Protein backbone atom coordinates (compact mmCIF):
# COMPACT_ATOMS: atom_id res chain seq x y z
CA UNK A 1 0.00 0.00 0.00
CA UNK A 2 1.16 3.53 -0.68
CA UNK A 3 -0.07 6.88 0.54
CA UNK A 4 -2.67 8.70 -1.56
CA UNK A 5 -1.22 11.11 -4.09
CA UNK A 6 -2.66 14.25 -5.66
CA UNK A 7 -1.43 16.26 -8.65
CA UNK A 8 -1.83 20.02 -8.15
CA UNK A 9 -1.95 21.81 -11.49
CA UNK A 10 -1.81 25.44 -10.51
CA UNK A 11 0.50 28.43 -10.25
CA UNK A 12 3.24 28.91 -7.69
CA UNK A 13 2.98 32.34 -6.15
CA UNK A 14 5.64 33.36 -3.67
CA UNK A 15 3.88 35.97 -1.56
CA UNK A 16 0.13 36.23 -1.14
CA UNK A 17 -1.02 32.77 -0.01
CA UNK A 18 -2.75 31.30 -3.02
CA UNK A 19 -2.62 28.27 -5.31
CA UNK A 20 0.12 25.66 -4.75
CA UNK A 21 1.69 27.62 -1.87
CA UNK A 22 -1.58 27.04 -0.01
CA UNK A 23 -2.74 23.75 -1.49
CA UNK A 24 0.47 21.76 -1.05
CA UNK A 25 0.81 22.34 2.72
CA UNK A 26 -2.89 21.63 3.26
CA UNK A 27 -2.85 18.42 1.20
CA UNK A 28 0.39 17.28 2.88
CA UNK A 29 -1.03 17.94 6.35
CA UNK A 30 -4.01 15.80 5.38
CA UNK A 31 -1.48 12.94 4.86
CA UNK A 32 -1.72 12.98 1.07
CA UNK A 33 1.36 13.34 -1.14
CA UNK A 34 1.17 16.66 -3.01
CA UNK A 35 2.70 16.76 -6.51
CA UNK A 36 2.94 20.33 -7.85
CA UNK A 37 2.65 20.89 -11.60
CA UNK A 38 3.25 24.62 -12.10
CA UNK A 39 1.29 26.58 -14.69
CA UNK A 40 3.08 29.86 -13.95
CA UNK A 41 5.44 31.29 -11.39
CA UNK A 42 4.57 34.63 -9.83
CA UNK A 43 6.24 36.75 -7.17
CA UNK A 44 2.83 37.88 -5.87
CA UNK A 45 -0.67 37.15 -7.17
CA UNK A 46 -2.53 39.36 -9.62
CA UNK A 47 -4.53 41.23 -6.96
CA UNK A 48 -1.30 43.02 -5.91
CA UNK A 49 -0.54 46.33 -7.65
CA UNK A 50 2.69 44.79 -8.99
CA UNK A 51 3.77 41.24 -9.73
CA UNK A 52 6.31 39.31 -11.77
CA UNK A 53 4.56 36.69 -13.92
CA UNK A 54 6.49 33.87 -15.60
CA UNK A 55 4.28 31.70 -17.79
CA UNK A 56 5.27 28.03 -17.57
CA UNK A 57 3.18 26.69 -20.50
CA UNK A 58 6.09 25.82 -22.77
CA UNK A 59 7.75 23.69 -20.08
CA UNK A 60 4.61 21.82 -19.07
CA UNK A 61 4.57 19.07 -21.76
CA UNK A 62 8.16 17.97 -20.95
CA UNK A 63 7.54 18.26 -17.21
CA UNK A 64 4.47 16.03 -17.53
CA UNK A 65 6.24 13.63 -19.92
CA UNK A 66 8.49 12.51 -17.03
CA UNK A 67 5.42 11.40 -15.09
CA UNK A 68 4.10 9.56 -18.15
CA UNK A 69 7.47 7.82 -18.64
CA UNK A 70 7.54 6.86 -14.95
CA UNK A 71 3.95 5.54 -15.20
CA UNK A 72 3.05 7.52 -12.08
CA UNK A 73 -0.46 7.09 -10.72
CA UNK A 74 -2.57 9.77 -9.06
CA UNK A 75 -5.58 9.31 -6.78
CA UNK A 76 -6.61 12.93 -7.23
CA UNK A 77 -6.01 15.66 -9.78
CA UNK A 78 -6.76 19.27 -8.88
CA UNK A 79 -6.65 22.17 -11.29
CA UNK A 80 -6.79 25.90 -10.54
CA UNK A 81 -5.47 29.10 -12.09
CA UNK A 82 -4.77 28.56 -15.81
CA UNK A 83 -3.35 31.21 -18.12
CA UNK A 84 -4.14 30.28 -21.72
CA UNK A 85 -6.20 28.09 -24.02
CA UNK A 86 -3.04 26.12 -24.78
CA UNK A 87 -2.56 25.47 -21.08
CA UNK A 88 -6.11 24.18 -20.72
CA UNK A 89 -5.40 21.75 -23.57
CA UNK A 90 -2.28 20.50 -21.75
CA UNK A 91 -4.34 20.00 -18.61
CA UNK A 92 -7.03 18.07 -20.51
CA UNK A 93 -4.31 15.84 -21.98
CA UNK A 94 -2.94 15.28 -18.45
CA UNK A 95 -6.37 14.22 -17.20
CA UNK A 96 -6.92 11.92 -20.19
CA UNK A 97 -3.54 10.29 -19.55
CA UNK A 98 -3.73 9.92 -15.77
CA UNK A 99 -7.40 9.61 -14.83
CA UNK A 100 -8.10 6.02 -13.87
CA UNK A 101 -11.49 4.71 -12.74
CA UNK A 102 -10.77 5.57 -9.12
CA UNK A 103 -9.01 8.93 -9.72
CA UNK A 104 -11.13 11.93 -8.88
CA UNK A 105 -10.72 15.29 -10.57
CA UNK A 106 -11.42 18.61 -8.88
CA UNK A 107 -11.63 21.62 -11.18
CA UNK A 108 -11.62 25.03 -9.54
CA UNK A 109 -12.58 27.18 -12.53
CA UNK A 110 -10.61 30.22 -11.31
CA UNK A 111 -11.82 32.99 -13.64
CA UNK A 112 -13.11 35.93 -11.68
CA UNK A 113 -15.18 37.30 -8.83
CA UNK A 114 -17.95 39.82 -8.14
CA UNK A 115 -19.25 39.61 -11.71
CA UNK A 116 -15.86 40.40 -13.28
CA UNK A 117 -13.28 38.14 -14.93
CA UNK A 118 -9.66 38.48 -13.67
CA UNK A 119 -7.26 40.65 -15.68
CA UNK A 120 -5.52 37.58 -17.14
CA UNK A 121 -8.86 36.21 -18.41
CA UNK A 122 -10.56 36.70 -21.73
CA UNK A 123 -13.51 35.13 -23.50
CA UNK A 124 -11.35 32.58 -25.35
CA UNK A 125 -9.92 31.29 -22.08
CA UNK A 126 -13.35 31.28 -20.46
CA UNK A 127 -14.61 29.16 -23.37
CA UNK A 128 -11.82 26.62 -23.07
CA UNK A 129 -12.53 26.40 -19.34
CA UNK A 130 -15.94 25.05 -20.38
CA UNK A 131 -14.17 22.13 -22.12
CA UNK A 132 -12.21 21.38 -18.95
CA UNK A 133 -15.37 21.35 -16.82
CA UNK A 134 -16.49 18.20 -18.65
CA UNK A 135 -13.66 16.27 -16.93
CA UNK A 136 -14.48 17.38 -13.38
CA UNK A 137 -15.98 15.14 -10.72
CA UNK A 138 -16.00 18.06 -8.29
CA UNK A 139 -16.39 21.65 -9.49
CA UNK A 140 -15.93 24.62 -7.13
CA UNK A 141 -17.11 27.80 -8.91
CA UNK A 142 -18.09 31.04 -7.21
CA UNK A 143 -21.22 32.77 -8.52
CA UNK A 144 -19.27 34.72 -11.17
CA UNK A 145 -17.67 31.53 -12.47
CA UNK A 146 -20.96 29.61 -12.37
CA UNK A 147 -22.79 32.12 -14.60
CA UNK A 148 -19.77 32.54 -16.90
CA UNK A 149 -19.64 28.76 -17.49
CA UNK A 150 -23.35 28.85 -18.36
CA UNK A 151 -23.03 31.91 -20.63
CA UNK A 152 -25.45 33.81 -18.43
CA UNK A 153 -25.17 37.41 -17.17
CA UNK A 154 -24.19 38.06 -13.56
CA UNK A 155 -27.51 38.25 -11.67
CA UNK A 156 -28.65 41.57 -10.23
CA UNK A 157 -29.91 39.89 -7.08
CA UNK A 158 -28.60 36.80 -5.31
CA UNK A 159 -30.25 33.74 -6.92
CA UNK A 160 -32.68 31.68 -4.87
CA UNK A 161 -31.81 28.10 -3.90
CA UNK A 162 -34.18 26.88 -6.65
CA UNK A 163 -32.36 29.01 -9.22
CA UNK A 164 -28.97 27.77 -7.97
CA UNK A 165 -30.22 24.17 -8.18
CA UNK A 166 -31.34 24.75 -11.76
CA UNK A 167 -27.97 26.30 -12.72
CA UNK A 168 -26.02 23.45 -11.11
CA UNK A 169 -28.27 20.88 -12.81
CA UNK A 170 -27.56 22.54 -16.19
CA UNK A 171 -23.82 22.48 -15.51
CA UNK A 172 -23.96 18.86 -14.33
CA UNK A 173 -25.19 17.88 -17.81
CA UNK A 174 -21.66 18.71 -18.99
CA UNK A 175 -20.06 16.27 -16.53
CA UNK A 176 -19.52 17.26 -12.88
CA UNK A 177 -21.93 15.60 -10.47
CA UNK A 178 -20.60 17.34 -7.36
CA UNK A 179 -20.68 21.13 -7.54
CA UNK A 180 -20.21 23.62 -4.74
CA UNK A 181 -21.00 27.24 -5.50
CA UNK A 182 -18.78 29.03 -3.00
CA UNK A 183 -18.94 32.35 -1.21
CA UNK A 184 -22.52 33.41 -2.00
CA UNK A 185 -23.19 36.60 0.02
CA UNK A 186 -26.80 35.80 1.03
CA UNK A 187 -27.05 38.78 3.43
CA UNK A 188 -24.82 41.22 5.35
CA UNK A 189 -23.96 38.64 7.98
CA UNK A 190 -23.76 35.32 6.16
CA UNK A 191 -22.00 33.54 3.33
CA UNK A 192 -23.58 30.47 1.80
CA UNK A 193 -21.97 27.55 0.01
CA UNK A 194 -24.52 25.78 -2.18
CA UNK A 195 -23.96 22.08 -2.84
CA UNK A 196 -25.25 19.96 -5.68
CA UNK A 197 -24.48 16.26 -5.27
CA UNK A 198 -25.85 13.92 -7.95
CA UNK A 199 -29.13 15.85 -8.11
CA UNK A 200 -29.48 16.43 -4.35
CA UNK A 201 -28.89 19.93 -3.00
CA UNK A 202 -27.90 21.31 0.41
CA UNK A 203 -26.33 24.43 1.87
CA UNK A 204 -23.60 25.28 4.36
CA UNK A 205 -24.03 28.70 5.94
CA UNK A 206 -21.21 30.54 7.66
CA UNK A 207 -20.82 33.92 9.38
CA UNK A 208 -19.40 36.60 7.13
CA UNK A 209 -16.21 37.94 8.70
CA UNK A 210 -14.69 41.05 7.15
CA UNK A 211 -14.29 41.67 3.43
CA UNK A 212 -13.45 38.96 0.87
CA UNK A 213 -9.89 37.61 1.05
CA UNK A 214 -7.82 36.41 -1.87
CA UNK A 215 -6.88 32.75 -1.79
CA UNK A 216 -10.02 31.71 0.09
CA UNK A 217 -11.05 29.52 -2.86
CA UNK A 218 -7.69 27.73 -2.80
CA UNK A 219 -7.97 26.93 0.92
CA UNK A 220 -11.56 25.73 0.46
CA UNK A 221 -10.89 23.57 -2.61
CA UNK A 222 -7.82 21.89 -1.10
CA UNK A 223 -9.63 20.96 2.13
CA UNK A 224 -12.52 19.59 0.03
CA UNK A 225 -10.10 17.55 -2.10
CA UNK A 226 -8.20 16.27 0.94
CA UNK A 227 -11.38 15.38 2.80
CA UNK A 228 -12.84 13.59 -0.19
CA UNK A 229 -9.59 11.65 -0.76
CA UNK A 230 -9.68 10.69 2.93
CA UNK A 231 -13.09 9.08 2.32
CA UNK A 232 -15.33 11.77 3.77
CA UNK A 233 -18.53 12.57 1.88
CA UNK A 234 -18.70 15.61 -0.38
CA UNK A 235 -20.95 17.37 2.17
CA UNK A 236 -18.63 16.60 5.12
CA UNK A 237 -15.63 17.79 3.11
CA UNK A 238 -17.32 21.08 2.16
CA UNK A 239 -18.47 21.61 5.76
CA UNK A 240 -14.92 21.08 7.06
CA UNK A 241 -13.50 23.37 4.38
CA UNK A 242 -16.02 26.09 5.24
CA UNK A 243 -15.38 25.88 8.99
CA UNK A 244 -11.60 25.80 8.54
CA UNK A 245 -11.50 28.76 6.16
CA UNK A 246 -13.84 30.74 8.40
CA UNK A 247 -11.55 30.22 11.39
CA UNK A 248 -8.51 31.27 9.33
CA UNK A 249 -10.35 34.37 8.08
CA UNK A 250 -11.29 35.36 11.66
CA UNK A 251 -7.63 35.03 12.72
CA UNK A 252 -6.43 37.01 9.67
CA UNK A 253 -8.87 39.80 10.62
CA UNK A 254 -7.70 39.70 14.24
CA UNK A 255 -4.12 40.25 13.03
CA UNK A 256 -5.38 43.02 10.68
CA UNK A 257 -3.74 41.23 7.77
CA UNK A 258 -4.42 42.98 4.43
CA UNK A 259 -7.08 41.04 2.46
CA UNK A 260 -4.72 40.42 -0.45
CA UNK A 261 -2.21 38.70 1.89
CA UNK A 262 -4.70 35.83 1.97
CA UNK A 263 -5.71 33.57 4.85
CA UNK A 264 -3.31 33.05 7.79
CA UNK A 265 -4.01 29.31 7.56
CA UNK A 266 -0.70 28.29 9.18
CA UNK A 267 -2.19 29.01 12.62
CA UNK A 268 -4.72 26.17 12.36
CA UNK A 269 -3.10 23.95 9.73
CA UNK A 270 -2.26 21.12 12.14
CA UNK A 271 -5.98 20.71 12.94
CA UNK A 272 -6.50 19.26 9.47
CA UNK A 273 -4.13 16.39 10.29
CA UNK A 274 -6.82 14.20 11.80
CA UNK A 275 -9.58 14.83 9.24
O1 LIG B 1 -6.59 32.49 -5.76
C2 LIG B 1 -6.83 32.70 -7.09
C3 LIG B 1 -5.59 33.10 -7.81
C4 LIG B 1 -4.62 32.17 -8.08
N5 LIG B 1 -3.48 32.47 -8.72
C6 LIG B 1 -3.22 33.73 -9.11
C7 LIG B 1 -4.14 34.73 -8.87
C8 LIG B 1 -5.37 34.42 -8.21
C9 LIG B 1 -6.35 35.46 -7.95
O10 LIG B 1 -6.19 36.59 -8.17
O11 LIG B 1 -3.86 35.97 -9.24
C12 LIG B 1 -1.94 34.04 -9.79
Give per-residue pLDDT as tens, 84-122. Answer: 999 999 999 999 999 999 999 999 999 988 888 887 788
Closest CA to 252 of 216, 205, 217, 228: 216
Residue 248 beta carbon below 6 angstroms from any ligand 1 atom: no
CA of 112 to the centre of ligand 1 (A): 9
Query: Does the structure show a pLDDT above 90 at 220?
Result: yes
Q: How far is the CA of 46 from the centre of ligand 1 (A)?
A: 6
Sequence-distant (6+) residues with CB within 8 A of 232 are 240, 275
Question: Beta-carbon neighbour count of residue 102 at 10 Å?
Answer: 8
Lowest mean pLDDT among 78-82, 115-119, 188-192, 258-262: 115-119
Q: What is the pLDDT of residue 132?
A: 97
Spatial contact of 137 and 96, defined as CB atoms under 8 Å apart = no
| Ligand 1 centroid – CA 97 distance (Å) | 26
The predicted model gives 8-21 an average pLDDT of 98
pLDDT at 118: 83
Beta carbon of 47 within 6 Å of any ligand 1 atom:
yes
| Pairing status of strand 190-197 against strand 178-184 | antiparallel
The stretch 124-134 carries a mean pLDDT of 93
Q: How far is the CA of 70 from the centre of ligand 1 (A)?
A: 31
Identify whether the C-beta of residue 86 lies closer than 8 Å to the C-beta of residue 125: no
Share of the chain above pLDDT 70, in %: 100
State the first-to-last Cα distance of the chain, in angstroms, to the nearest integer: 20
pLDDT in tens, 136-155: 999 999 999 999 999 999 99
Using a 10 angstrom Cβ sphere, with 0-12 exposed, 13-18 middle and 19 or more buried, the burial of residue 256 is exposed
Closest ligand 1 atom to the C-alpha of 40? 12
Residues 22-51, mean pLDDT to the nearest whole number: 97
User: ∠ CA(116), CA(148), CA(221), 5° rounding?
Assistant: 85
126/88 Cα distance (integer angstroms): 10
pTM over 0.75: yes
Q: In the beta sheet, which residues pair with residue 77?
A: 7, 105
For atom 6 of ligand 1, the residue with the nearest CA is 45
Average pLDDT, the chain: 96
Strands 116-117 and 76-79: unpaired
Whether 11 lines ligand 1, by a CB cut-off of 6 Å, is yes
Q: How far apart are CA 220 and CA 231, in angstroms?
A: 17
Amino acid sequence: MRQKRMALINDITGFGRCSIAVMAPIISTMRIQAVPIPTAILSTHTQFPIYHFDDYTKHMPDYIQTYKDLNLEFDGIGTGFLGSKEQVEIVIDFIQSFKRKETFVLVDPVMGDHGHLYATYNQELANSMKDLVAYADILTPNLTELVTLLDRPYPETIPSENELAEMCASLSLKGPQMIVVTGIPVDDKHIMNFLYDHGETSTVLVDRIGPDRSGTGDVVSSVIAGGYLNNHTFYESVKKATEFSSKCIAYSEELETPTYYGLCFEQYLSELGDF
